[in-house]
């Protein structure tokens, strides 16, 4: 599945696709081909492009070969050596220099794939190619990972930057992947929207310049889903060429396409560089999230089949991977915050009579939560509503022949709460400035380990004491005032990403301790619908909009990937 020739050409093949690039004599990686499967050869000179460039304003990188990087399809790029397209990485040395020059050093093939520190990633791979690039002046290495999933025609990519020097390096951008497609007639397909109209399909004809989708909300968002596709020519549902690109990440992301002056098309995705700055100290490394690539010559439907197979078999995991999901009855619209145990059991009894298999107790079971203004963060049962706590009501629901589930929103806090009174420093926001809220909610700072542990301890206590079979994990507002109290200025550019790593670590803790629980992710409907979430929560709330007709477009867009 992965071939390395004597000319340092790399051929990654799946059941139906081939991905080829090579290390040029100067050390740069040239993208050769990503498309329909071709036979393995010892030489691939028939794929080589001419590199001649001899007119004004050309920057010559290698005098011997007269290379202009701006005219070459590159597999990964940086800025400073004459490639004026969007760089895949932007790093800054301690002396302020932004220019870097990574060159091929080595490559190896393994039957296992590397773990990405603190990040969700795919599993069950066939083989992984690791290409090692080095910038000697920067004293840094760049490891590029290419993992082959043969049966579903997917290749995943990621990048790791390692500081081998004695001075700190600042990362301003590190894209998860880059491919440069040859000049052609392309259309970008994205899935955009807002609350109650998530993932509507939109198409943009690619022409000169940049086209991008992304999020700076702190979530993958309902504005622009991380997935996008590139359709070539007259590709339709059943025939034609297309490429699908996704990102195993749930925070700020960007997917961008640039049509260069010479017609080549650069495609990248990764963490959104907006307000991102990461200090990479000597001896440290930084991992970009995993990017997911697939190619289909069988139209958009073929691309969808590839992505469906990949998510089902190599992202979703655990007890519920292949289980049929239970039929749910939820008390929210029936009671909102005003309920008693007697009312809850009456709803559960009627649900059981109608064939429901799982009763979910929604918002209002904790603290003194009688309306939306209080108690988020106080994850202990309200005994005035539930005299025997969650344990008592859960056992009574199970006695009806149903499983019991619980709603939580662990990333938020109300000012009117015990948690806020005890830990005002646990909230995001700069002291001395008024803070925005959404639904009377403020965002906890999950970049702080003590927040992850504190919230985790409260929720784990409830789950240990009660027979809970399902958790609906909600997240009902976008992030604002992203500032971590008590941290210095240099840390603030890391908060968005470290916050997301904190969310992932809490998920990992809970699913490890409670592997039988079905976790469903929800973010004000479908505002965090991405492979990163599906890695932890194998069920996702698609949208708060349940109108049958309006749901058609939402379901269609969601089903593409």
Q: Are strands 518-521 and 539-540 parallel, antiparallel or unpaired?
A: parallel
- The vertex-510 CA angle with 246 and 494, nearest 5°, equals 55
Here the contacts of 362-370 (C-beta below 8 Å, separation 24 or greater) are 362/330, 362/331, 362/332, 362/407, 362/472, 363/332, 363/336, 363/337, 363/407, 363/409, 364/335, 364/336, 364/337, 364/338, 364/339, 365/390, 365/406, 365/407, 367/417, 367/418, 369/337, 370/337, 370/338
Give me the catalytic one of 62, 101, 370, 544. Answer: 544
Half-sphere exposure of 258 (CA within 13 A, CB side): 18
Which tokens is 332 given? 């929210």
Catalytic annotation present for 516:
no
Tell me how crowded residue 378 is: count the other CB atoms within 10 A of its CB: 21
CA 445/CA 442 separation, integer angstroms: 10
Annotate 174-241 with DSSP letters as a single string. Answer: EEEEEEEEPS--EEEEEEE--TTSTTEEEEEE--SEEEEEE--SSSS-SSEEEEEEEEETT--SSSB-
Which tokens is 474 given? 């909600």
- Contact assessment for residue 520 and residue 472, using Cβ atoms and an 8 Å cutoff: yes
Which tokens is 514 given? 């409670």
Q: Are strands 2-4 and 9-13 parallel, antiparallel or unpaired?
A: antiparallel
Residue 151, burial from CB neighbour count under 10 angstroms (0-12, 13-18, 19+): middle
DSSP classification of residue 490: G
Which tokens is 209 given? 């310049």
CA 203/CA 187 separation, integer angstroms: 7
Judged by DSSP in three states, 245 sits in strand
- Contact assessment for residue 81 and residue 97, using Cβ atoms and an 8 Å cutoff: no
270 DSSP β-pair partners? 175, 254
Q: Quickly tell me which residue has 């990461």 as its tokens.
A: 278
Catalytic annotation present for 544:
yes
CA 96/CA 340 separation, integer angstroms: 62
CA 168/CA 93 separation, integer angstroms: 7
Give me the catalytic one of 75, 192, 474, 530. Answer: 474
Half-sphere exposure of 286 (CA within 13 A, CB side): 26
- Contact assessment for residue 542 and residue 198, using Cβ atoms and an 8 Å cutoff: yes
- Contact assessment for residue 361 and residue 347, using Cβ atoms and an 8 Å cutoff: no
Annotate 11-74 with DSSP letters as a single string. Answer: EEE-SSEEEEEEE-TTSPEEEEEEEE-----S--GGGPPP----STTPPPSBTTTTB-GGGS-B
| 449-465 vs 495-513: helix crossing angle, rounded to 10 | 20
Q: Which residues form the catalytic set? A: 474, 544
């Amino acid at each position: 599945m992965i071939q390395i020739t004597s000319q340092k050409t790399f051929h990654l093949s799946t059941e139906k696709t081939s991905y080829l690039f090579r290390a040029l004599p100067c050390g740069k990686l040239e993208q050769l081909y990503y498309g329909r499967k071709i036979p393995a050869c010892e030489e691939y000179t028939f794929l080589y492009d001419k590199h001649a460039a001899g007119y004004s304003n050309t920057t010559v990188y290698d005098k011997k070969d007269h290379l202009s990087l701006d005219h070459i399809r590159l597999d990964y790029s940086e800025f400073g050596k004459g490639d004026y397209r969007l760089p895949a990485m932007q790093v800054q040395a301690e002396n302020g220099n932004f220019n870097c020059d990574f060159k091929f050093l080595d490559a190896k093939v393994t039957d296992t794939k590397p773990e990405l520190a603190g990040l969700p990633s795919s599993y069950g791979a066939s083989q992984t190619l690791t290409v090692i690039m080095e910038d000697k002046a920067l004293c840094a290495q760049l490891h590029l990972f290419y993992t082959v999933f043969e049966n579903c025609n997917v290749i995943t990519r990621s990048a790791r930057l390692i500081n081998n020097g004695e001075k700190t390096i600042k990362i301003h951008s590190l894209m998860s992947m880059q491919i440069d497609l040859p000049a052609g007639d392309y259309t970008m397909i994205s899935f955009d929207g807002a609350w109650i109209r998530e993932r509507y399909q939109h198409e943009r004809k690619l022409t000169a310049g940049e086209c991008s989708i992304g999020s700076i909300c702190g979530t993958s968002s309902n504005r622009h889903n991380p997935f996008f596709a590139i359709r070539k020519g007259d590709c339709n549902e059943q025939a034609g060429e297309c490429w699908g690109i996704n990102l195993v990440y749930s925070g700020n992301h960007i997917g961008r396409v640039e049509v260069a002056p010479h017609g080549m098309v650069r495609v990248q995705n990764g963490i959104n560089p907006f307000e991102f700055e990461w200090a990479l100290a000597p001896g440290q490394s930084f991992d970009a999230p995993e990017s997911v690539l697939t190619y289909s010559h069988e139209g958009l439907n073929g691309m969808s089949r590839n992505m469906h197979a990949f998510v089902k078999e190599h992202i979703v995991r655990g007890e519920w991977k292949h289980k049929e999901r239970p039929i749910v009855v939820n008390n929210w619209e029936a009671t909102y915050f005003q309920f008693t145990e007697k009312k809850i059991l009456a709803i559960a009894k009627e649900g059981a009579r109608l064939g429901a298999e799982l009763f979910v107790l929604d918002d209002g079971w904790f603290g003194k939560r009688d309306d939306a203004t209080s108690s988020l963060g106080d994850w202990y049962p309200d005994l005035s509503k539930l005299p025997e706590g969650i344990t008592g009501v859960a056992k009574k629901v199970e006695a009806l022949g149903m499983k019991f589930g619980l709603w939580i929103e662990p990333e938020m806090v109300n000012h009117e709460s015990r948690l806020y009174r005890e830990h005002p420093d646990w909230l995001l926001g700069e002291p001395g400035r008024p803070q925005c809220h959404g639904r009377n909610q403020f965002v906890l700072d999950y970049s702080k380990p003590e927040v992850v542990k504190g919230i985790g301890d409260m929720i784990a206590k409830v789950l240990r004491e009660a027979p809970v079979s399902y958790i609906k994990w909600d997240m009902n507002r976008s992030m604002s005032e992203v500032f971590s109290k008590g941290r210095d200025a240099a840390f603030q550019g890391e908060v968005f990403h470290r916050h997301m790593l904190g969310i992932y670590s809490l998920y990992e803790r809970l699913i490890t301790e409670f592997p039988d629980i079905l976790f469903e992710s929800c973010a004000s409907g479908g505002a965090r619908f991405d492979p990163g979430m599906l890695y932890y929560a194998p069920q996702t709330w698609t949208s708060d909009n349940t109108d049958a007709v309006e749901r058609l477009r939402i379901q269609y867009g969601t089903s593409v990937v």
